[in-house]
Structure 1
Amino acid sequence: MKKKGLCILMALFSINTLLGGCGDSEKPTKKTETQAKKVDVEDKNVAKIKKLLSKSLGDNASINYVADKKQFDLIATSDQLKQALTKIKDENTGEKEWQTLVQAFKQISLQIKAAYKEDYSVRLADPNDTKESLLTVRNGEVIYNFKK
């Protein structure tokens, strides 16, 4: 993988400092208020996480949120990132870079869990077929890795 492609992927690490202390700890007392605020807090959390991921990735990837799965889908948009991911997938190269990316996704998902106290997944879509996954991580655990 080209060095710049790896730099793009490593941008995911930059959300580490941005996520610290962003969780909402307000606890309403009435059941209906609790439910309404929980939805409101979750919507705010999703917006914050999506914004942070988007800011970290810039124009290199788009972020979609799939509510029923509580999952953030990262979809490569830059040609360079698409080519780097395709090369890793199709040519079975870049093992070191791939493992670095897997570790970055694990760290990101743990940081999201710590900051927001919710179980969100982070998924890297296949750049050639965005319905397919290359990697999915939740709470620091790899749910799916196309290499395994």
Structure 2
Amino acid sequence: MDNPAVGGFSQFLNYGGLGLLAILCLVVLGYNAWSLNRLVATSAPAKVNAARPLLLAQMAVSLIGLFVVGAGAVYLENIKDRQTRMAQIIIDPWERNIDSSFLPDIRLAGKPLIDRPINITCTPGSPTTVTVDLDRFIAYRISKSIEAQRALPPVALSSR
């Protein structure tokens, strides 16, 4: 899960059957605790002893179910981590009419990338590093700004 604090319960329910099984286990555990409390408060000791194995069996099944839900969630998360993912890098604003020598230098594993948008395959187990060097593009923008300032008429000094 990306951020457990945001939408944690809804992400938990996204696992479908695991979420429903966990809710069912919690309901059974709660019902058993409530029934045991009522039974102890109102019944004779013989009835409590007779119901004890059934309540213990239900609680054990519920706890085993919760353990299975946790193991299933960990398993599904590990499967998700082993998947190949695609990333797309979009650098905006982008000027298509400038010479490619002024474009930002974007490299993936040392190889320059020129196509836009950039599609990258992220394989599991090794980090995918994209290097973006904006020095050429910033130098180009500064030179264009200086040219534009020179083209403007000088500002007259106001006298007081």
- The TM-score bracket by the shorter chain reads under 0.3
Choose between structure 1 and 2 for higher RCO, CA contacts under 8 A separated by at least 6 residues: 1
Scaled by the length of structure 1, what TM-score is found? 0.23
When the two structures are superposed, what TM-score results if normalisation uses the length of structure 2?
Answer: 0.22
